[in-house]
Structure 1
Amino acid sequence: MTEKTRAAHRQPLLSPPEWLIRGVRPQPAPIRWAAVVRASLAMAAPIAVGLAAGRPAYGALVSMGALMGVISDTADAYRMRVLNIAVPQCFGAIGIMLGTLVYGTGWPAVGVLTLVALISGMISTVGAVASVSGLLLLVDTVVGAGLPMPDPWWKAPLLLSLGGLLVLALTLLGWPLRARAPERGAVAGTYRALAELLAAAGTPAYDGRRQDVTAALNTAYDLILTRRAHDHGRSGPLVRLLAQLNVVIPLVEAAAAAHLHGRAARRPEIAAAVRDLADVIASGRAGATPDLVLPEPEGPADRAVNAALRHASGVVHHPDPDTSADRTAANPGDRLGRPAPLGVRARRAARNVLLTAASWRYGLRLALCIGLAQILTSAVAVDRSYWVALTVTFVLKPDFGSVFSRAVLRALGTAVGLLTATLVLGLVPRGWWDVPVTLVLAALIPAFSAKGYAFQTAAITPVILLISDQLNHLGFQLIQPRLVDSLIGCGIALVAGYLLWPESWHARIGDRLADAVADTARYVECAFGGDGRGGDPSDRVRLRRRLYRDLSAVRSEFQRALTEPPPTGTRAAAWWPVVVAVERIVDATTAARVRVDHGAGPPAPAEAADIARQLNGLAEGLRSSATLVAVRTALSGDDRGVLAPLRQEVIAARGITSPQ
């Protein structure tokens, strides 16, 4: 890189760093208006009832429980929403009970909170629901230990649970009328994402559209297969939705071939036909299969798209598709990614909590920070000291994002939220005016939460202060302690939860990427191993789906690392081209396999084996090196053969070097 180029890329002296800009940039997420209305009603109504009954503290506790339910309500399918809201609320009730029992006990409270932090951190590594459950367990324990709660000990858990149940009841109002609407919408959304992918074939926009298809497929399979795991026997509508989702797989594979080699498959009639299928799925209607008028194919890629589209049209329009007859080479049936039985998953979860290094590492990390926060606030007089531990709890959630960036963003979000709280607590009279104010402020929480962590913190902060004022009636005096305590908590999380842990500075992004590259080598072997015709088609499809899902997780991990300061963020930025290159290799492998299946000549076995060997070498290099080193390599093969594009992608991946 020349000095002129370095100067062009050098940031102005007073400009914020790129990792901070990424963190504060709002995410392009749509507003869930139903969630906005639910949040307003669920949090304002308890305050109104509490004021009318002369028990404003009771109303505040119910509203606090509703806030926890609003934060937990992140799923689409109704069954998953029941789990996402109800299970964390149970852990929260246990937490508030434990906190109430140790309130005012001094050092015993420090020990209990530290132990709860260890348990909370360990169970948070199991999955999404467990993560939120662990969060609420610790949050409510801290709140119970820091605020006086009404007697007897069971009243506070009951009131908080009522708030969560209110959110759950409002959420489930539409279940009788829209029981399968989320699942149907997810499948239709997958078809629409696929239509955009086909429309982008042959253009630079293809890579972004493919990521959208991967995310849509992941969401749809998670919704439908989780529902199938809970249903006993055969459910006709679910079987139909699953069949409609399964026949997307051949179209996704054919899209990769159309992107690299298609001609007629890139014409707008193809994408329009897929959009029509999405409309049929969304409406839930079925009828006679229309006679599709498709462009005349000009090669194997076009033939693959036409065949997959006609098959999908037949399944989508059929009123009762038989999935057992659809387990073709490209469609392995509903076992694709289906969850294991409940007992198996319970044993896996217990093993992950008790026996994995990641579980103990995060649990000890969180326990250390909470213990330090409690020791500090016990030794030094800090107003509203429980906010220090609460800040540590919310910041130190690695599964929610970068610890460093969350600490910085929480400080920024708290400062902005306190400006709003200053106006509310300073200008609005206490009493019945709290109801309309809460109605407005609560609506901002789901609207802003999707935009990013700083936005969520800015929206939650004034609501929390308004609820706290119902409990202790300190009004404007809450502003300064909240800011000071939040900054102390962010400092503890940064020092004890980030700087002192080597894994914070040496993130295992290289190892995760190396695993994905090694899986890609296995995919090449599965697609073209042996005599060049590959192994079992069903195994190949399952491996491809798992690989795309894993690559999506790797991409998310790298995007999270990009929000870290140097050296982690710098290393992630240097290795980012390899992530893109691996995704292109998978696409090229899929395209080659589709072309062979539709008439192209199979490659020589030695050519596929050579490509797999080079990918395994790249994986080993990623594991053994902290920086990227370009490897100039040559791969032998037929320049006009079906693997020629794949070979070029592998050469490009091995030729990537880190900036000096």
Structure 2
Amino acid sequence: MSRPARPVLALPPWLAHALRAQRGPVPWSAVTRGALAAGPLLLVAVLADRTSLGVVAAIGAMFAGINDSPGSRRSAIRRLGMPALAGAAGMFVGTYAGDHLGAVPLTVLLTCLGLVAGAISAVGSVASGAGTQLLVAAAVGAGMPLPESGWLRAVAYLAGAVWLLGLRLVLPTPGSLVGDFRFDGERDAVARVYDAVAELLDAVGTDRATARRAALTAALDHAQDSLTGPRLRRYASSSAERRLHAQYAAALPLGEAATAIAWAGEAVPERASEGPRLLAAAVRGNTHTGPLPAPSRSAPALRALDDALLHAAEAFDRGRANRDLHTRRRTGRHVMSAVFGAGGREYGLRVALCFGAAAALAQGLYSAQWYGRHEHWYWLPATAVFLVKPDLGPLVSRVLCRAAGTVLGALLFAGFAAVLPRPEGLIALVALSGALIPVATRHFAAQTAVVTVLVLALVMVGGEPQASVSRIGETLLACAIVLVVGHLPMPGQRGGGVRARLGAAGRAAYGYLDHVLREADGAAQRGADTRALRWTLRREAYRALAEARTAIALAAAELPALARHTQGADDVVATLERLVDTTTACAVHLDDSGRLTPWHLAQLNELLDELAEERDRVGLRIPDAPEVPVAG
């Protein structure tokens, strides 16, 4: 007789998150850029006898390398450029404040900067990166004693980031030398959308359908971001750009039809997914589609899929996009709502408290000569800025990873510093660390270890003594500050970031539903323009839901004292996703028959009633849902 299996001990979410790392192939192109960024800049500066400027430029290149995530070249301009501009501004302000203000007014200024940068970080990932670089560069500018003026330091910082951005725009990625390599990231992003459509069709009727629909949303988000930038506008100038825009636009009705098919839950023939896969291959190879297999036309969603394939074939051949189909960017109203909303206020206050307290403590320790000969008190507030960022993981996970990574990095550097020649050995170590950053970003502890080695090498090249031990002590102090502030009660409800994301998702879902209902009752005339707006609203709804899902997953992995404030949020977002799926199915049926059936209306009303109960239980504040006619 076999023995019963022993139950597996499940780790608590906060610890499991700290042990989890991202997977994927090594980004060799990013590794190459990292090796050519900070190290060569520092070498040139040392040879020109401007070592201190080289240190600042290398710091700018290092932060640009941290933000050098996969994506298109055009999106890299915004993803790397905006945080670099914010960092240069922080370096300028911090330098002059450190030179002309005493400890108390300097701490007040840094605290105010933390409040502003924290609130701005609630807008999105690029704004979060900009807020982080603003604060870290301000602390470095105020605490690093360099002979150069503030404006020269800011220029050097920006030059380092621009150098890596230039490498990103000029160097081709592996395997992209055939054809026009400038669009390799965009082509791959659009092709992944068609692959995701095919995978969703394969999963129809199985328990994998929900995950595949979420993967389609992620692919569309990535393609949308990849096609956003200064070289691809609404009216693109080059034929290659017009073709890419047309191929992305043609994917939207395909995604809508596939979502409606998945919502119905009835399995489709295998040939239904062959067409999207042929389209994906055509995008990657920049070729024509050739003959596409026609799916069955036995149901409204299948007829919509067939029509979308025909439309895609025409768009691929002619390379012409619907000029009225475009992505609406965040308006000033949306940005201000995020900054001054519950999420922006709560995060801004926590960043201000952590940054200000760390700056005050660091200056107090420096005045008491706790640092000995080390004058760089900026490490403590800079560390606190990274630790307080919620997009890097749950609070305890961030603290554990930062502490472990700093200890490992400091010990590694102490060993390297004992044997490497100076400065050439340390410059080589900076280049190696820059090359490792794109791989190390998969885990916060690994990233911290690599960045610690790089920064300690930069400081020593700049003429300071070895500082591994003091860096470990300052990091542990920063961990303690962030842990305390992270658990302090704040004005208003806790979990403001999650509630803000849920509110945005609810408004986007209701806006999409309202548009479809207006089409159904004739208030919005149906046509190409109306469908284009509908696809845009659908994209906004699914993107907002994905952002809410991410925020909820991070909040759920916090310690129980923090996680309890967002309990029930996952139920709300799940119901909102079902509402958007049902709305999509209604839109496809409406295009096919010109009306909504009583069964469709009953499904919508049932979901809205369920959502109202969950919303009241969680205490979520979003506008009332649009009025849906009662079936019957």
Query: Which deviates more, 63-72 or 32-41?
Result: 63-72
1:17 corresponds to: 12
Alpha carbons of 1:385 and 1:225: their partners in 2 closer, same or farther (altered >3 Å)? Answer: closer
Residue 541 in 1 paired to residue 526 in 2? no
1:210 corresponds to: 213
1:165 corresponds to: 162
**SS in structure 1 opposite 2:290?**
coil
Native 8 Å contact 2:75 2:225 kept in 1: no
**SS in structure 1 opposite 2:113?**
helix
Alpha carbons of 1:190 and 1:106: their partners in 2 closer, same or farther (altered >3 Å)? Answer: same
Alpha carbons of 1:444 and 1:608: their partners in 2 closer, same or farther (altered >3 Å)? Answer: same
Encode CA deviations 1:276-331: one digit per residue, 9 max, x unaligned: 11121222234xx6333435544444333333223222222x1343525xxxxxxx
Alpha-carbon distance in structure 1 between the residues aligned to 2:19 and 2:108: 36
**Which of 252, 262, 267 is 1:249 aligned to?**
252
Residue 371 in 1 paired to residue 368 in 2? no
Encode CA deviations 1:136-184: one digit per residue, 9 max, x unaligned: 2211111122121124444433332332232122122148953333323
**SS in structure 1 opposite 2:558?**
coil
Residue 144 in 1 paired to residue 155 in 2? no
Matched residue type, 1:41:
L
Alpha carbons of 1:98 and 1:290: their partners in 2 closer, same or farther (altered >3 Å)? Answer: closer
Alpha carbons of 1:534 and 1:186: their partners in 2 closer, same or farther (altered >3 Å)? Answer: farther
**Which of 437, 443, 460 is 2:451 aligned to?**
460
Alpha carbons of 1:82 and 1:61: their partners in 2 closer, same or farther (altered >3 Å)? Answer: same
Unaligned runs of 5+ in 2: 1-5, 173-178, 621-628
Alpha carbons of 1:542 and 1:437: their partners in 2 closer, same or farther (altered >3 Å)? Answer: closer
How far the C-alpha of 1:203 sits from its partner, in A, is: 2.1
Native 8 Å contact 1:262 1:299 kept in 2: no
Alpha-carbon distance in structure 1 between the residues aligned to 2:162 and 2:308: 46
How far the C-alpha of 1:274 sits from its partner, in A, is: 1.5
Query: Which deviates more, 37-46 or 591-600?
Result: 591-600
1:184 corresponds to: 187
Alpha carbons of 1:489 and 1:53: their partners in 2 closer, same or farther (altered >3 Å)? Answer: same
Residue 338 in 1 paired to residue 335 in 2? no
1:195 corresponds to: 198
Alpha carbons of 1:81 and 1:600: their partners in 2 closer, same or farther (altered >3 Å)? Answer: closer
Alpha carbons of 1:237 and 1:352: their partners in 2 closer, same or farther (altered >3 Å)? Answer: same
Alignment of 1:43-58 (within 5 A): 43-58=38-53
Matched residue type, 2:544:
D
2:112 corresponds to: 115
Alignment of 1:365-404 (within 5 A): 365-380=350-365, 381=368, 382-383=370-371, 384-404=376-396
Matched residue type, 1:67:
M
Query: Which deviates more, 140-149 or 109-118?
Result: 109-118
Native 8 Å contact 2:440 2:450 kept in 1: yes
1:633 corresponds to: none
How many residue pairs get aligned? The number is 600
The alignment-based identity, stated in percent, is: 31
**SS in structure 1 opposite 2:560?**
coil
Matched residue type, 1:302:
L
How far the C-alpha of 1:564 sits from its partner, in A, is: 1.0
RMSD value, Cα: 3.7
Residue 603 in 1 paired to residue 597 in 2? yes
Residue 619 in 1 paired to residue 618 in 2? no
> Normalised by the size of structure 2, how large is the TM-score?
0.83
Native 8 Å contact 1:256 1:588 kept in 2: no
Alpha-carbon distance in structure 2 between the residues aligned to 1:427 and 1:90: 37
Alpha-carbon distance in structure 1 between the residues aligned to 2:612 and 2:57: 55
How far the C-alpha of 1:264 sits from its partner, in A, is: 7.4
Residue 495 in 1 paired to residue 487 in 2? no
1:653 corresponds to: none
1:282 corresponds to: 284
Alpha carbons of 1:53 and 1:533: their partners in 2 closer, same or farther (altered >3 Å)? Answer: closer
1:481 corresponds to: 470
How far the C-alpha of 1:226 sits from its partner, in A, is: 4.4
Alpha carbons of 1:501 and 1:487: their partners in 2 closer, same or farther (altered >3 Å)? Answer: farther
Unaligned runs of 5+ in 1: 1-7, 325-332, 629-635, 642-660
Alpha carbons of 1:526 and 1:30: their partners in 2 closer, same or farther (altered >3 Å)? Answer: same
Native 8 Å contact 1:525 1:608 kept in 2: no
Alpha carbons of 1:612 and 1:46: their partners in 2 closer, same or farther (altered >3 Å)? Answer: same
Alpha carbons of 1:50 and 1:71: their partners in 2 closer, same or farther (altered >3 Å)? Answer: same
Encode CA deviations 1:569-589: one digit per residue, 9 max, x unaligned: 357576535544543443344
Alpha carbons of 1:558 and 1:30: their partners in 2 closer, same or farther (altered >3 Å)? Answer: farther
Encode CA deviations 1:307-357: one digit per residue, 9 max, x unaligned: 3223222222x1343525xxxxxxxx423x2337xxxx5x54885588656
2:437 corresponds to: 445
2:398 corresponds to: 406
How far the C-alpha of 1:38 sits from its partner, in A, is: 0.7
Native 8 Å contact 1:262 1:301 kept in 2: no
Matched residue type, 2:551:
E
2:623 corresponds to: none
Alpha carbons of 1:503 and 1:386: their partners in 2 closer, same or farther (altered >3 Å)? Answer: farther
Alpha-carbon distance in structure 1 between the residues aligned to 2:496 and 2:119: 20
2:625 corresponds to: none
Encode CA deviations 1:38-93: one digit per residue, 9 max, x unaligned: 11111211233344445544433322221122123346333332333333333323
**Which of 395, 402, 412 is 1:420 aligned to?**
412
Encode CA deviations 1:381-402: one digit per residue, 9 max, x unaligned: 4424321111111122235544
Alpha-carbon distance in structure 2 between the residues aligned to 1:366 and 1:229: 36
How far the C-alpha of 1:509 sits from its partner, in A, is: 3.9
Native 8 Å contact 1:65 1:164 kept in 2: yes
2:318 corresponds to: 319
How far the C-alpha of 1:127 sits from its partner, in A, is: 4.0
How far the C-alpha of 1:532 sits from its partner, in A, is: 7.8
Alpha-carbon distance in structure 2 between the residues aligned to 1:338 and 1:157: 33
Native 8 Å contact 1:226 1:338 kept in 2: no
Native 8 Å contact 2:572 2:615 kept in 1: no
How far the C-alpha of 1:560 sits from its partner, in A, is: 1.4
**Which of 96, 100, 107 is 2:95 aligned to?**
100
Alpha-carbon distance in structure 1 between the residues aligned to 2:83 and 2:483: 27
> Normalised by the size of structure 1, how large is the TM-score?
0.80
**SS in structure 2 opposite 1:292?**
coil
Matched residue type, 2:580:
V
Residue 82 in 1 paired to residue 67 in 2? no
Alpha carbons of 1:513 and 1:79: their partners in 2 closer, same or farther (altered >3 Å)? Answer: closer
How far the C-alpha of 1:96 sits from its partner, in A, is: 2.2
**SS in structure 2 opposite 1:59?**
helix
1:647 corresponds to: none
**Which of 40, 61, 64 is 2:59 aligned to?**
64
**Which of 127, 140, 146 is 1:130 aligned to?**
127
Native 8 Å contact 2:247 2:319 kept in 1: no
Matched residue type, 1:387:
W
Alpha carbons of 1:186 and 1:533: their partners in 2 closer, same or farther (altered >3 Å)? Answer: same
**SS in structure 2 opposite 1:291?**
coil
Residue 552 in 1 paired to residue 546 in 2? yes
Alpha carbons of 1:182 and 1:504: their partners in 2 closer, same or farther (altered >3 Å)? Answer: farther
